[in-house]
Amino acid sequence: MIREHAYAKINLALEIVRKRDDGYHELKSLMIPIELKDELIFTKGVGLNFASNVAIADNSIIKVYEVMKNRYNVKEGVSISLIKEIPVGAGLGGGSADIAATIRGLNRFWQLNLDSKEMRKLSIELGSDTLFCLYNSPAIITGRGEYIEFINSEMKFEHITLVVPNYQTSTKEAFKHVTFYQHDNEKFEQIKKSFIENKRDDLKDALYNDMLDANFILHNESRLYFKALQTQGLKPHLSGSGSVIYFLDLNQDELERLRELTPSNYQIIKTKQL
């Protein structure tokens, strides 16, 4: 039996650079992995037996199995159980994390001995942000996530609070509504510098997400919630295309304020940087 953990991510900064000819958008993002995770268990099976505690149509894990089985001419089957804890369509990268965990898991289970170059190639081919999820280390990703620059830093967020609204955001829909902002390159470089030099307050004050307005267009409820939180002195941030809203370093008083302002059908999850 082999077990793999698929960790979620949050985007501390997310910039949309341009639309590419293949329809995807070129991004620049500083991401950190968090402790919230799915679990994948690999045991012996005939063909593929796949089970999950959450029903997801066309689960990406099945695609990964098919590609790897065919590419490496594997005769053996496998049973994969997914225990999903990462909310779906939340901007936490759960799908990408599961793809990366399946690549790692099948490589071990089938003893394929793939080298890191091959693992990277597979992950880039099978999803966006998947390369990041292969390593789970703070990094700047560019392109569609196919370029990665790891960041060495003492910075560690021990108190991350996630609010999961009662609506999901389709990444595809969100990209249809994005605004292209003209950013000064200096802005992102400053965030990177603050992260490397562990200047926590500078970093927290500078965070931005180019997908926030698209999220507001899709969910007016999100716009109103952000406004209410900001009016009460809280600093909400959107992760990825949403819908999750996260907070860094909330103290007890701020956490209580957050609870009061949050609709009862939203979920609050306390986690930390991995």
Ligand X SMILES: C[C@@](CO)(OP(=O)(O)O)[C@H](O)COP(=O)(O)OP(=O)(O)OC[C@H]1O[C@@H](n2ccc(N)nc2=O)[C@H](O)[C@@H]1O
The option from ligand ADP, ligand X, none interacting with 98 (CB < 5 to 8 A, set by class) reads ligand ADP
227 vs 102: CA distance, rounded Å: 39
* Residue 241 found at the interface with ligand X (CB under 6 A): yes
Contact (Cβ atoms closer than 8 angstroms) between residue 52 and residue 81: yes
Decide if 140 contacts 29 (C-beta within 8 A). Answer: yes
What is the distance between the alpha carbons of residues 181 and 114, in angstroms, rounded to a whole number? 40
165 forms part of the interface with ligand X (CB under 6 A): no
129 binds ligand X (CB under 6 A): yes
CA–CA dist 100, 5 (Å, integer): 10
Q: Give the nearer residue to ligand ADP in terms of CB position, either 9 or 28.
A: 9
Residue 61 binds which of ligand X, ligand ADP, none (CB < 5-8 A, kind-dependent): ligand ADP
Q: Crossing angle for the helix pair 94-109 and 116-126, nearest 10 degrees?
A: 140
- Nearest distance, CB of residue 169 and ligand X, angstroms: 7
The entry of ligand ADP, ligand X, none that residue 32 binds, CB within 5 to 8 Å by partner kind: none
Catalytic annotation, residues: 9, 129
Candidates 24-32, 46-54, 214-222, 246-254: pick the segment binding ligand X (CB under 6 A): 24-32
- Per rule CB under 6 A, is residue 175 in the interface with ligand X? yes
Q: Read off the DSSP letter of residue 3.
A: E
Alpha helix locations (H) across 74-144? 94-109, 116-126, 130-135
Burial class (CB in 10 A: 0-12, 13-18, 19+), 73: exposed
Between 14 and 245, whose beta carbon lies closer to ligand X? 14
Which is closer to ligand ADP, CB of 38 or CB of 194? 38
| Tokens at 257, concatenated | 């304020």
What are the φ and ψ backbone dihedral angles of 270, each rounded to 5 degrees?
-100, 130
Residue 236 annotated as part of some ligand binding site: no
- Min CB(29)–ligand X separation in Å: 6
Q: Please report which helix (H) or strand (E) contains residue 237, including its range.
A: strand 237-238
Question: With binding defined as CB under 6 A, does residue 87 bind ligand X?
Answer: no
Q: Amino acid identity of 21?
A: D
| Site for ligand X contains 11 (CB under 6 A) | yes
- Determine the length of the chain: 274
Residues in contact with ligand ADP by CB under 6 A are 56, 58-61, 88-96, 98, 171, 240-241
Q: Which residue is nearest to ligand X, using beta carbons?
A: 240
Contacting residues toward ligand X, per CB under 6 A:
11, 14, 23-25, 27, 29, 91, 93, 95-96, 127-129, 144-145, 171-172, 175, 240-241
